Structure 1
Amino acid sequence: MTGKITRRTVTLGIGAAVAAPWIARSAFAASQPILLGVPATSTAAVGAADHGDHINGTAVAVDEINEAGGILGRPLKQVVIDFDPLSPESSKQAIAACIDAKVDAISNPYMLPPLPAMDVSSQYKCPYIHGSANRVSSEAVKADPAKYGHVFLATSAEVNYGWTFPQWLAHAEAKGGWVPKNRKIHIVQEQIAYTQTISKCAQEAIKKDGKFEIARITDIQYPVQDWATVIRELKEVDAGMIIIDHWVAAELAGFAKQFVQDPVPNSLVYLQYGPSQPEFLSLTGPAGNGFCWSTVTGVYADEKGKAFREKYKKRFPGVMGLVYTGFGYDVPYMLKAAWEAVGDPRKFEDVNAWIKANPFRGVCGHYDMNNPYQETLHYPSNGFDDLQVSALDKGQAQYYCQIQDQEHKIIFPDELVETKITPAPWWS
């Protein structure tokens, strides 16, 4: 034997061909794969963009792990289960399919609502790591750890979208780039529990902060096909700050295109989360410039985050989503660390205990779920609960972006900023 390492192509994951070192590694190639169940949709009317990002980010991690020799001498395989994330019954069926496949762990971007699927998973109790930024899921873990101790919310909860809002406003005003024309805030809120919780927490934080006032709250109902009535009301109130508390990218793109044709002059417009999904920029083009959004989990623009962004874009050209691409990438590496520490992926109880006890640093920041909620700690702290931290390296940052020149640029918090807020096209 000369010592030369040749390479051989094997097919793993979701059909992607990957190269693996071949040094008499027939045992690796023939060994039973470790199975990562990924309930994620590519067909549902809502959620396919985020879920597709999650599948792609997972694929990048799976291929890297296998190229490096796998986990405990075994290849890792992604098992994708298509389902409707807005349907409780479909969500339950997706988890049941993972159990039938005897997966070693589950990685899910989100389900709305999350509890029905969690109930099904409790019959199996493999690690269930999800990104449903929904406090009701982590409250269930705290209330019944015997039933849900295998469930981890690897983001902070949606309550932080509301609680952090006044901090961002203060930062935008103090750092320059935005001078509020008045101190009024107009909230446009959708009716699902997720957006209602965000609105409630925003109102709570705004009242506590005392620097702005809620001028009006306008209700909308999914699906929103025409924003003309809402825009007329926005112009009537003429608030300096507008919150569109909705999360569906295609509908927010429709809002953005209608708004720029007849805007509320000099108002700062925040579109909650939806613009993070790649279809928003694809649908809006230049009309998306100037709008702001935030996420409680997303790929940082630091050295680690930029390296991931570069390789992801090389693998998947086009507009890159900044949220579930990184989330999907981080989860397999988190599990890899746990599986290797425990020595056997089938020791579910030990693996779950290791995940809880050991923080993990990924491309989306610092994951620390060692608390009764098993929810990732949130940065920055604003004093609303014990799951917030005052140091970036102790929690996962919620960051705010503004779309500038058809690109997402981080404008808050200071530790992650790429640039400051700039005038929107409808500002004089």
Structure 2
Amino acid sequence: MSMTLGPDEFSIEVDSLGGTPLVRLGSVPKGLLEVAVALRGGRVQRCSFIWADDDSPTPCYVAVERARNNGSLVISGFYCHNLPFGLTVRELDVLTLVAIGKSNIEIASRLNLSARTVTTHVDHIMGKMSVRSRTAAAVIAVDGGLLKVPFPGGDDGFDLLELGRAFGGTATRRVVRQPRVVKKPFAFGAVLPLHGLAAADGAEMLRGGRLAIDELNRRGGVDGRQLVMEIADVDILDAESVRRGLIALAERDVDVLTSGYFAQQDLAHEIVANWGVPYLHAATMRMMEERVCSDPRRYQNIFQVCASDAHYAPRFVGVLTGLRDTGGWLPSSNRLVVIQGAWDLTDLGVVQAYALAERHGWQIDVIRIFGDDHDSWASLADRIRHGEPAAVMIGNYHVSGTVSFIDSFLADPSDTLVYALYSPSIPEFREQLGERSEGIVWATVTGTYSDAPARAFAGRYRKRFGVSPGRSHAGLAYDRVQLAATALSLAANPRSSRAVADELRVVIHRGVNGTYYFGNESQTAWTYPSPGVDPSLAQAHLIFQIQDGRQRIIDPSPFADARFRPQSWLARSRQAD
């Protein structure tokens, strides 16, 4: 055998008797050479396949043919830097098992994946191959030599194919003889406030993330690798604490980074942009959306898993307009007040709310609070009580400030509907206010639903930790890990930050807090209701009311499980009832 080969090509000829390579040209994968020696005495005459084992970083297309003159086996091939149809190696695993008639559940079991991940892989395979059925994909794979060797998950079932019979068990024999390799786990970094102002919320985030990791590991992890959580405890108000936490996780080489919210979220964005790790954060800030849009290349790895704060004030106006116009609430006047919190990066969408209010006959006043202590909030509550607007939106995310305001207001309430943001989602809120929390209306752009998947999640959470989850960040942290795990499992190279970020940009994940889809320039989850937004691709901007000591969703449809009840201090509405 005499020939000239290109740099990515190789060829070997194996004696049919002795098994010694007669000719070897180019760089032949070690594992393939061992299989070739094992094949030399078999009945194989001609076959082709894709060789991809753990020792070969680049897959190879291989053709095998037995020479007629001396019975030796000629094996030639080339390295595939790009697999046919743009398939990934993991998709090739799945396609190979589809070719022997395995169901998604059977494939999931053999590859240590979830059935949902396998379903996604099959959908991607059919799309890339431009076929409408699994059978069509299988036929192309068998006829075109697109089956992966060593056979994924062992030889069982491959005797149905001529290729499997040709190998006669040699395709995975070398792998079986090798000692079990423990793969490096995927590390999920979590920057959490486990002390200080947001410690109760940090505990929610920690438990939600741990539950997701525990469940994924029980199902085999991701691509056979276990998941671990690396935690950095930070003070969300201290820029230096946040910086140290992020740097610590960078030094631990985490594969994915997650966080809740920081007062200096812009600092986190800059550190992570320089680092390059896929980052899923829950800082509901329009300014951060605008930052990502300003330089998509620099911030391509940053994803905001919930809609921005700019939706809060317009939604406040919209909800109150609906209650007024349907007769569910009789406002004391046409005046609304929006209290804007002290964080510099906060934008509650006041400009849009002004325009919306004018169309619906409201007048809006905005009050900016700069102190976050009890006296500042109590003074503000007194001001609201004496001014008696129809409704007040407490634009504050922390339990302490919201509780201080409500506690002071309820000492002698005016006929003013109280509408809070986010903080009542944390169990600590009701623990501190007790029965005085009854009737409070509150909104969140990311809340845990009341449907069957969310109830099942809450049950597993209670069983695992002995407490019930709140209605926002526990579910969000759980979903965030599941979402990142899906992206890792789909990525062509899960150790490549860019490959994982590419999957995050296109994956659609339905979690307990709704649907996550980053199909926009800012890479921010969509919100519903919002003009032109499909609710099946968004997270509902939920409006809750505490009724009989329970969190009930009163808007929007179809997610609501209760109707608004006039708060006990709303004199006009209560008299009308």
Coarse TM-score class (shorter-chain normalised): 0.7 to 0.9
Aligned equivalents of 1:390, 1:153: Cα separation in 2 = 17
Q: Secondary structure at the match of 1:376?
A: coil
Residue 362 of structure 2 aligns to which amino acid in structure 1? F
Aligned to 1:263, which of 410, 413, 420?
413
1:332-375 deviation digits (Å, cap 9, x = unpaired): 11112111111532111111011101221111111111211001
Gap change, CA 1:210 and 1:116, over 3 Å in 2? same
| Counterpart in the other structure of 2:186 | 34
Distance 2:275 2:385 in 1: 53
Q: Please, which moves more after superposition, 202-211 or 140-149?
A: 202-211
Report the alpha carbon displacement of residue 293 of structure 1 after superposing the two structures with TM: 0.8
In 1: Cα distance, 2:534 partner to 2:300 partner: 27
Given the superposition, is the C-alpha separation of residues 411 and 194 from structure 1 closer, same or farther in structure 2, using an over 3 Å criterion? farther
TM-fit CA distance, 1:320: 2.6
Select the residue among 536, 540, 546 that pairs with 1:393: 536
Distance in 2 separating the partners of 1:300 and 1:104: 29
Shift of the 425–153 alpha-carbon distance from structure 1 to 2, 3 Å rule, reads same
1:336 lines up with 2:488 in the alignment = no
Indicate if the aligned counterparts of 1:158 and 1:194 stay in contact, CA closer than 8 A: no
Residues 36 and 79 in structure 1, CA contact (< 8 A), matched pair in contact too: yes
- Judge which range, 414-423 or 88-97, deviates more: 88-97
C-alpha spacing 1:55/1:170, structure 2 compared with 1 (3 Å): same
Distance 1:283 1:77 in 2: 34
Aligned partner of 1:405 among 543, 548, 552 = 548
Query: Could you tell me which of 373, 384, 387 is aligned with 1:224?
Result: 373
Equivalent residues of 1:281, 1:319 under 8 A apart = no
1:244 maps to 2:394: yes
List alignment gaps of at least 5 residues for structure 2. Answer: 1-175, 572-577
Say if 2:378 is the partner of 1:235.
no
The offset of 1:107, in angstroms, is 1.1
Return the letter of the residue paired with 1:186. Answer: V
CA distance in 2 between counterparts of 1:76 and 1:319 reads 24
Matched residue of 1:186: which SS? strand
Higher RCO structure, 1 or 2 (CA under 8 Å, sep 6+): 1
In 2 relative to 1, CA 98–402 (structure 1 residues): closer, same or farther, beyond 3 Å? same
- 1:46 is the counterpart of 2:184: no
Read off the aligned partner of 1:301 and give its amino acid letter.
S
Matching residue's letter, 1:210: H
Post-superposition offset of 1:200 = 2.4
Task: Note the 1:9-88 alignment, pairs <5 A.
Answer: 27=180, 30-43=182-195, 45-88=196-239
CA separation in 2, counterparts of 1:219 and 1:114? 20
Give CA deviations for 1:24-66 in whole Å, capped at 9, x if unaligned: 9x958x43211000010211x2221222211110001000000
Deviation at 1:314, TM superposition (A): 2.3
Distance in 2 separating the partners of 1:39 and 1:58: 11
CA distance in 2, matches of 1:59, 1:165: 34
Q: Report if the CA contact (8 A) 1:246-1:271 is conserved.
A: yes
Task: Label 1:194 to 1:202 Cα distance change in 2 as closer, same or farther (>3 A).
Answer: farther
Aligned runs of 1:126-145 on 2, under 5 Å? Answer: 126-145=277-296
C-alpha distance in structure 2 between counterparts of 1:66 and 1:194, whole Å: 38
Q: Which residue of 1 aligns with 2:569?
A: 426
Are the aligned partners of 1:65 and 1:71 in contact in 2 as well (CA < 8 Å)?
Answer: yes
Contact 1:166 1:205 in 2 (8 A): no
2:298 is the counterpart of 1:147: yes
SS at match of 1:36: strand
- Kindly indicate whether residue 557 of structure 2 is the aligned counterpart of residue 414 of structure 1: yes
2: CA distance, partners of 1:300 / 1:164? 18
SS at match of 2:297: helix
Residue 100 of structure 2 corresponds to none
CA spacing shift, 1:207–1:169, aligned 2, 3 Å: closer
What SS class does the counterpart of residue 155 from structure 1 fall into?
Answer: coil
Closer, same or farther: CA 201–317 of 1 in aligned 2, 3 Å: farther
1:54 touches 1:325 (CA, 8 Å); kept in 2? yes
1-structure distance, mates of 2:485, 2:468: 29
The Cα shift of 1:84 comes to 1.3
The one-letter amino acid of 2:190's match is: V
Post-superposition offset of 1:210: 3.1
Whichever residue aligns with residue 391 of structure 1, its letter is D
Q: Which residue of 1 aligns with 2:266?
A: 115
Deviation at 1:251, TM superposition (A): 2.0
In 2, Cα distance between the equivalents of 1:176 and 1:61? 43
Q: What SS does structure 2 have at the residue aligned with 1:77?
A: strand
Residue in 2 aligned with 1:358?
507
- Residues 70-105 of structure 1, C-alpha deviation per residue, up to 9 Å, x if partnerless? 111111001111111122222222111111000000
- How many angstroms apart in 1 are the aligned matches of 2:273 and 2:524? 17
Q: Who is 2:430 aligned against?
A: 281
**Which position in structure 1 is the counterpart of 2:155?**
none
Q: Which runs of 5+ in 1 are unaligned?
A: 1-23, 384-388
- In structure 2, what is the equivalent of residue 327 of structure 1? 476
TM-score, normalised to structure 1's length?
A: 0.87
**Deviation string, structure 1 residues 251-276 (Cα, Å, up to 9, x no partner):** 211222222221113x2111122211
Partner Cα separation in structure 2 for residue 208 and residue 126 of structure 1: 44
Partner of residue 5, structure 1:
none
Cα distance in 2 for partners of 1:390, 1:167 equals 17
Residue 306 of structure 1, CA deviation: 1.4
Instruction: After superposition, give the CA deviation of every residue in 1:194-220 in whole Å (9 maximum; x if it has no partner).
Output: 44x216246434444332112x43332
Letter in 2 for 1:180: P
Q: CA deviation at 1:174?
A: 4.1
One-letter code of the match for 2:444? T
1:317-341 deviations in Å (ceiling 9; x for gaps): 3353111111110111111211111
Contact 1:379–1:390 (Cα < 8 Å) also in 2: yes
Match of 1:403, SS? strand
For the 8 Å contact 1:177–1:423, the answer to whether it is kept is: yes
Q: Choose the corresponding residue for 1:161, options 302, 306, 312.
A: 312
Partner residue of 2:526 out of 355, 377, 384? 377
